[in-house]
Amino acid sequence: MTAQLPTNLAANPRLSRWLRFDARGFVEVSPGKIEIGQGIVTALAQIAADELDVDIARVRMIPATTAASPNEGVTSGSLSVEQSGSALRHASAEARSIYLGLAAQRLGVPAESLQVEDGTIVGPGNLRTSYWELADDALLARDASAGIAAKAPARRRIAGTPVARLDLPDKVFGRPRFVHDLDLPGLLHGRVLKPASPGAKLTSLEEAGARGVAGVIAVVRDGSFAGVVAETEGAAEAGLAALRKGATWSAGFALPDETNIAAWLKSQPADSKTIDAREAPAAAMAARTVRRQYSRPFIAHASMAPSCAIAQRPSPASVHVWSHCQGVYNLRADLAIACALPPESVVVEHVEGAGCYGHNGADDVAFDAVLLARAANGRPVRVQWSRADELAWSPVGAAMAIDLEADLDAGGDIVRWRHEVWSNGHVGRSGRAPIPTVLAASQLAKPFERFISVDPPMANGGGGERNAVPLYEFPAQHISNHRVLNMPIRTSALRTLGAFANVFAIESFMDELAAEAGEDPLAFRLRYLKDPRARAVLEAAAARAGWSTRAKREGVGHGIAFARYKNFGAYCAVVAEVEGAADIRVRRLVAAVDAGEVINPDGLANQIEGGAIQATSWTLLEAVHFDNQRITSDSWETYPILRFSEVPVVEVEIIARPEERALGAGECAHPPTAAAIGNAVAAALGVRVRDLPITRERIIAAMA
Amino acid sequence: MGEPVTLRVNGVERRIEADPATPLLSVLRGRLGLTGTHFGCGTNQCGACNVLIDGQAVAACDTPLWAATGKDVVTVEGLGTPERPHPLQQAFIAEQAAQCGYCLSGILMSAAALLRRNPDPSEAEVRAALDRNLCRCGAHNRIVRAVLRAAKEAKP
């Protein structure tokens, strides 16, 4: 029995916002969370089907729209199963009980005597009705009430099973499913001219060339924003090429020296704060102190699809947008401010895009489309970025520098731990600030201030400081974060925020300290780790990977690492096996994960496999490159990612805990994977690379 | 504009009146409404737009329309249907071989070309055949398993 409503249901209590029975024999389920390739729509359908006792084939998942859906904010932070799942479970349980109440009246029997079998409500003496027979929207036009009991975990039949992804058949048969594939009557095509470099202003624009291109129907300019609208994509591309030729730009921001980002971060003005501080009652004497610096570069989302959106302005006072954004209400808020319209005049509908790993260009291209739609006489305008725009103009994950210090007593035990982080803010998302954060907002003739990214509060996991507080229990510790306020390169949320680099640093440092102490890295960790679930994933990964009997030979190395995502999400430990000399190949990754209750075990395994592979790519290959003016890694040649022939074997072990709360798991594999690879490289080659990515050049430099 | 270009797309003869330099991808997605083939980079670096041309996997984004004159073009829509799926399509569903699925149609076409020339590939051969196809979500190993499964199940 829940004494109070789940948070997202309390915020959107009207039951009809969440689900609706249809007399034709199906139920529509409308979560506010959206599909970004992670399989959430399937997991949420499982939860609803289970609570309602209907076959999952009867569940129709409705994409989020500001016109109807509950406002569940942004689909991010590995929170959807926890937040949307619990709200939907409660709403479904209450809907079931309302329908059973009505069935009991109609059939003249007590509700307790009724059972539901695939939507058919069955009572004593073969009395029957069904959700479909009773379907009436008025029944759910009321607010959720506390005190509704959902099924006990042991009685769930669909949640906890590997149900096939609902979206996959469309994708395998090539049926339109992505916003890129959406066709609307009268659709026009737009392209937008990106500045010559970040912060550059458009000083002059010769528009005649673009206007002369056959099929171009408008050139739009507003300050430093410029674009074309055309009847076809080909004409839009040709118009854009002509526009680019006619554009003159001022110099932009001075970009930092890519080869020494840590020094740049540490030299900038910053908002500094202590995250955690603990003193030992009787501070042990430090016999010596070990200090290390770790870093990571800026990392790109590098989604397979360039960002795309469609916008329509039926009248100057209304806007309709189709977008692969992560939060329809958040994007609506930004668009409303940027267009000086009330939010109710803006509708944002979600349509799937390619895999989304955080705050990418989706919101930016939506505003681009809205600006171009001004010149389209009410027709919809589809805008798609180029590959170069996608890699160079989407927000990127922030570069980070991390200093770690450990005081060791005479016996070599850690008596004090210090962790200090420098990075730009990790979140500049739409819909959270009084100013819009979409790219073009600061380029308009009447520009909005350029938003300087911030870090979420620690209660939400923090940003630069995410996972900076170790789960190891040390007698004393001091953790601090410096959010750098100068942001020439636009940073925002990329999977794991600061956790990737913080865990890389902590877990690399733990290995370095274990080596100093002459101890096995696993035993050394377990000595400082009390949480039994944390210990269990480490031990499970080690057992599965054969840690205690691992081969020790030249050019092959094993590394282990652990983290609990955000310190309150899923637990994950990874063992990496690498081989090579300067060119490192990751052969095998073994991950053990504890995500509490698991709704879809195959979906979870897919997320862990994918996270481990993506993290391998970040760890070995990825860095956004730039000169003093512009980002230069704007193609797959200059921003390579891991290929099929380079992908390691990934084995996933799930520690099932059906009685425990579901814990967000979509990002938990990235941080320990990076550290396990770093530790395995050190084990294989005897050299430690502390700056990501671990490239051939860095390994050779470390050997010198 | 010049003479119309004639080609076969998914078994149907098509006469296309367009600038012969138009990328084949634009013709497929625009004129023919075959949006299952996706734009990824426009420079033949990611494989998202791969189609079969006379049985070979080719990037449609940098193939001009004229280069397909008289050829047999197959897109993901022509590979199979829910009623008559290609073994690869069945295997990708059986292995749940995707996350976002945007790269999938191009990967299916590269795999189809591989199975035509090598019906019984090793895992290493599958990885080599897919090496020009990028996947960002990390579904690689599932995809390799699916291709091997399709090869196995297609055997008489």
SS3 A545: helix
Residue B8 has pLDDT above 70, yes or no: yes
Q: What is the pLDDT of residue B156?
A: 67
Query: What contacts A344, CB < 8 A, 6 or more positions away?
Result: none
- The domain spanning residue A184 has which CATH number? 3.30.365.10
The residue assigned the tokens 């937040």 is A83
Structure tokens at A531: 């949480």
Q: What is the pLDDT of residue A553?
A: 86
* Distance in angstroms (rounded) separating the CA atoms of residues A471 and A248: 53
The answer as to whether A441 is a domain residue is no
The answer as to whether A98 is a domain residue is yes
* Distance in angstroms (rounded) separating the CA atoms of residues A251 and A256: 15
Domain total of chain A: 3
- Residues 222-251 in A contacting B (C-alpha not used; CB under 8 Å): 232-234
- With b for 16 or more beta-carbon neighbours within 10 A and e for fewer, the A580-613 pattern comes to beeebebebbbbbbbbbbbbbbbbbbbbbbbbbb
Q: Quick one: A421 and A370 in the same domain?
A: no
Q: How many CA atoms lie within 13 A of B102 on its CB side?
A: 31
Report the CATH number of the B79-154 domain.
Answer: 1.10.150.120
> Considering only CB atoms, which chain A residues are within 8 Å of B41?
387, 635-636
Question: Taking a C-beta distance cutoff of 8 angstroms, is the pair B134, B47 a contact?
Answer: yes
Last residue of a domain, one of A126, A145, A172: A172
Radius of gyration of chain B (CA): 15
Q: What is the pLDDT of residue A1?
A: 42
Q: Which helix (H) or strand (E) holds B26?
A: helix B24-26
Q: Quick one: A374 and A408 in the same domain?
A: no
- Cis? peptide before A693, omega within 30° of 0: yes
Average pLDDT over residues B136-153: 98
Question: Taking a C-beta distance cutoff of 8 angstroms, is the pair A120, A702 a contact?
Answer: no
Instruction: Report yes or no: B123 at the A interface, CB cutoff 8 Å.
Output: no
Average pLDDT along chain A = 96
Structure tokens at B88: 């690869």
Structure tokens at A138: 């008025």
The number of residues in chain B equals 156
Q: Quick one: A407 and A520 in the same domain?
A: yes
Q: Quick one: A323 and A466 in the same domain?
A: no
Query: What spatial distance separates the first Cα and last Cα of chain A, rounded to whole Å?
Result: 64
Q: Provide DSSP, B70-115.
A: T-EEE-HHHH--SSS--HHHHHHHHTT--SS-TTHHHHHHHHHHHH
Name the percent of chain A lying above pLDDT 70. Answer: 99
Question: Taking a C-beta distance cutoff of 8 angstroms, is the pair A317, A339 a contact?
Answer: no
* Distance in angstroms (rounded) separating the CA atoms of residues A476 and A148: 45
Residue B38 has pLDDT above 70, yes or no: yes
SS3 B153: helix
Q: What is the pLDDT of residue A481?
A: 98
* Distance in angstroms (rounded) separating the CA atoms of residues B62 and B79: 21
Average pLDDT over residues B106-134: 98
SS3 A417: strand
> Considering only CB atoms, which chain A residues are within 8 Å of B82?
169, 173
* Distance in angstroms (rounded) separating the CA atoms of residues A354 and A78: 18
- CA–CA–CA angle A647, A169, B53 (5° rounding): 70
The answer as to whether A438 is a domain residue is no
Average pLDDT along chain B = 96
Locate the domains of chain B by residue range: 5-75, 79-154
Residue A273 has pLDDT above 50, yes or no: yes
Give the strand pairing for A247-249 and A202-205: antiparallel
Instruction: Report yes or no: A185 at the B interface, CB cutoff 8 Å.
Output: no
Q: Quick one: A470 and A573 in the same domain?
A: yes
The answer as to whether A565 is a domain residue is yes
- The model's pLDDT over A654-704, given as tens digits with 9 standing for 90+, comes to 999 989 999 999 999 999 999 999 999 999 999 999 999 999 999 999 998
Q: Quick one: A158 and A215 in the same domain?
A: no
Q: Quick one: A205 and A161 in the same domain?
A: no
Q: Provide DSSP, A38-74.
A: S-HHHHHHHHHHHHHT--GGGEEEPPPBTTTS-----
- The model's pLDDT over A530-556, given as tens digits with 9 standing for 90+, comes to 999 999 999 999 999 999 999 888 899
Confidence of residue A283 (pLDDT cuts 50, 70, 90): low
Structure tokens at A119: 């939507």
**Phi then psi dihedrals of residue A115, to 5 deg:** -130, 155
Instruction: Report yes or no: A644 at the B interface, CB cutoff 8 Å.
Output: yes
Q: What is the pLDDT of residue A167?
A: 94
Q: Does A75 or A390 have the greater pLDDT score?
A: A390
Structure tokens at A3: 């004494």
Q: What is the pLDDT of residue A689?
A: 98
Q: Quick one: A158 and A213 in the same domain?
A: no
Instruction: Report yes or no: B45 at the A interface, CB cutoff 8 Å.
Output: yes
What is the architecture of the domain spanning B5-75? Roll (3.10)
- The model's pLDDT over A551-574, given as tens digits with 9 standing for 90+, comes to 888 899 999 999 999 999 999 999
- The model's pLDDT over A435-472, given as tens digits with 9 standing for 90+, comes to 999 999 999 999 999 999 999 999 999 999 999 999 99
- Residues 60-99 in B contacting A (C-alpha not used; CB under 8 Å): 75-77, 79-82, 85, 89, 92-93, 96, 98-99
The answer as to whether A694 is a domain residue is yes
The dihedral built from the CA positions of residue A79, A360, A619 and A38, taken in this order, carries a sign that is: positive
Question: Taking a C-beta distance cutoff of 8 angstroms, is the pair B49, B109 a contact?
Answer: no
- The model's pLDDT over A238-261, given as tens digits with 9 standing for 90+, comes to 999 999 999 999 999 999 999 999
Average pLDDT over residues A87-101: 97
Q: Which residue of B has its CA nearest to A37?
A: B100
Q: Quick one: A79 and A202 in the same domain?
A: no
Average pLDDT over residues A587-598: 97
A129: β partners: A121
A358: β partners: A494
Q: What is the pLDDT of residue B75?
A: 98
Domain that holds residue A73: 7-172
Average pLDDT over residues A390-413: 96
Question: Taking a C-beta distance cutoff of 8 angstroms, is the pair B105, B134 a contact?
Answer: no
Is B99 in Cβ contact with A172 (below 8 Å)?
no
Q: What is the pLDDT of residue A81?
A: 86
The answer as to whether A280 is a domain residue is no
Instruction: Report yes or no: B34 at the A interface, CB cutoff 8 Å.
Output: yes
Q: Quick one: A537 and A489 in the same domain?
A: yes
A346: β partners: A319
Confidence of residue B1 (pLDDT cuts 50, 70, 90): low
Q: Quick one: A487 and A368 in the same domain?
A: no
What are the strands of the beta sheet with A128-130, ordered from one edge?
A: A115-117, A120-122, A128-130
Residue A281 has pLDDT above 80, yes or no: no
Last residue of a domain, one of A371, A393, A415: A393
Q: Quick one: A386 and A404 in the same domain?
A: no
Q: Tell me the one-letter amino acid at A373.
A: A
Last residue of a domain, one of A339, A370, A393: A393
Q: Which of A42, A184, A303, A304 to mutate to test the interface with B (most CBs of B within 10 A)?
A: A304
DSSP state letter for A306 = -
Is A306 in Cβ contact with B101 (below 8 Å)?
no
